[in-house]
């Protein structure tokens, strides 16, 4: 008996299962090819989306003055804008990054008109893995005189672990911790080149203690604070100073005001510091090489107590404050 082979599957026909036709491998190949093409298309579209946003950055960059630059990640609103304004007052040119384009354009217009500085903007999601390396490449190609990197972007709110879906929890960790760490890694060579230079990471008083009602937020901010502490010593001899801003209540959104008043009452109002004062204080202390920066005397006093308490006690107190009526 002669063995008949198929040119398609290269197996004896007698070895092909009854429920499989000789053309099945071809269909499998077509299915895999289709999947690969879809993945490639997604990558191309992602690259195109970034490129469209990146067009907001001038390339090649034409310098309008000889002042140094600062990058403010999350610099279009709230504490980020206040930090950008404090830098602009000191004649720093700026690169502002945020997700939404219109607030960025508004910030650019206000800062350029009021302080006569150069402001470049990039609308991008900082959790996108491609943003930091491409922005770093643009900075290196344009020989950006970068003197300060400010990692301000973050995610908090009244909902946290047990109330958020897994993708939101992951996003919070990426934005609050992964993004600033990766930004530092990519921009460190440029900061060393332009030393003395500065890194300002924006954490929170929430990072000083476990907070059950803000579990992931406090954990991610604590990790950022610890990262900043260690990084300060790693870079001590490299001419790069590291600071960490850890503010108490800052009323940047209505929901923050509501939540603070519900949880802390009059004491929350007592500790609250306006965003403009936070930004000014943060830059003033960063330029002086301060490590932990807590704006406002009441907040500084409270943060010292929190840090002195055993973590079990602090977590228990926060748990009692965070319980819903």
Using H for helix, E for strand and C for coil, what is the string for the chain? CCCCECCCCCCEHHHCCCCCCCCHHHHHHHHHHHHHHHHHHHHHHHHHHHHHHHCCCCCCCCCCCCCCEEEEECCCCHHHHHHHHHHHHCCCEEEEEECCHHHHHHHHHHHHHHHCCCEEEEECCCCCCCHHHHHHHHHHHCCCCEEEEEECCCCCCCCCCCCCCHHHHHHHHHHHHHHHHHHHHHHHHHHHHCCCEEEEEECCHHHHCCCHHHHHHHHHHHHHHHHHHHHHHHCHHHCEEEEEECCCCCCCCHHHHHHHHHHHCHHHHHHCCCHHHHHHHHHHHHHCCCCEECCCHHHHHHHHHHHHCCHHHHHHHHHHHHCCC
- Judge if the upstream peptide bond of residue 71 is cis by omega within 30 degrees of 0: no
Residues 6+ apart with CB under 8 A from 53: 101, 122, 123, 124
Residues classed as catalytic: 217
Facing residues of 5 across strands? 12
Residues 6+ apart with CB under 8 A from 141: 59, 60
Q: Where do we find the tokens 């010292």?
A: 304
């Amino acid at each position: 008996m002669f063995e008949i082979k198929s040119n398609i599957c290269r197996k004896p026909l007698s070895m092909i299962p009854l429920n499989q036709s000789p053309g099945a491998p071809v269909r499998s190949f077509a299915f895999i090819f289709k999947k690969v093409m879809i993945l490639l298309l997604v990558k191309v579209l992602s690259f195109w989306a970034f490129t469209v946003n990146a067009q907001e950055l001038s390339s090649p960059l034409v310098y309008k003055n000889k002042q140094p630059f600062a990058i403010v990640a999350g610099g279009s609103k709230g504490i980020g804008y206040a930090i950008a304004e404090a830098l602009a007052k000191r004649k720093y040119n700026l690169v502002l990054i945020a997700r939404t384009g219109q607030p960025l354009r508004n910030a650019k217009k206000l800062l350029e008109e009021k302080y006569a500085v150069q402001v470049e903007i990039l609308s991008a999601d900082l959790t996108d893995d491609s943003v930091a390396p491409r922005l770093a490449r643009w900075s290196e190609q344009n020989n950006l005189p970068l003197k300060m990197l400010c990692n301000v972007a973050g995610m908090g709110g009244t909902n946290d672990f047990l109330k958020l879906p897994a993708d939101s929890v992951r996003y919070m960790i990426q934005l609050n911790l992964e993004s600033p760490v990766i930004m530092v890694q990519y921009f460190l060579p440029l900061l060393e080149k332009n030393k003395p230079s500065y890194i300002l990471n924006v954490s929170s008083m929430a990072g000083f203690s476990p907070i059950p009602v803000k579990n992931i937020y406090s954990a991610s901010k604590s990790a950022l604070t610890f990262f900043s502490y260690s990084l300060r010593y790693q870079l001590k001899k490299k001419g790069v100073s590291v600071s960490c801003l850890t503010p108490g209540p800052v009323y940047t959104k209505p929901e923050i005001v509501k939540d603070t008043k519900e949880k802390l009452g009059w004491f929350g109002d007592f500790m609250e510091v306006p965003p403009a004062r936070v930004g000014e204080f943060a830059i003033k202390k960063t330029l002086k090489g301060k490590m932990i920066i807590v704006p406002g005397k009441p907040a500084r006093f409270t943060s010292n107590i929190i840090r002195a308490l055993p973590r079990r006690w602090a977590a228990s107190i926060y748990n009692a404050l965070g319980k819903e009526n």
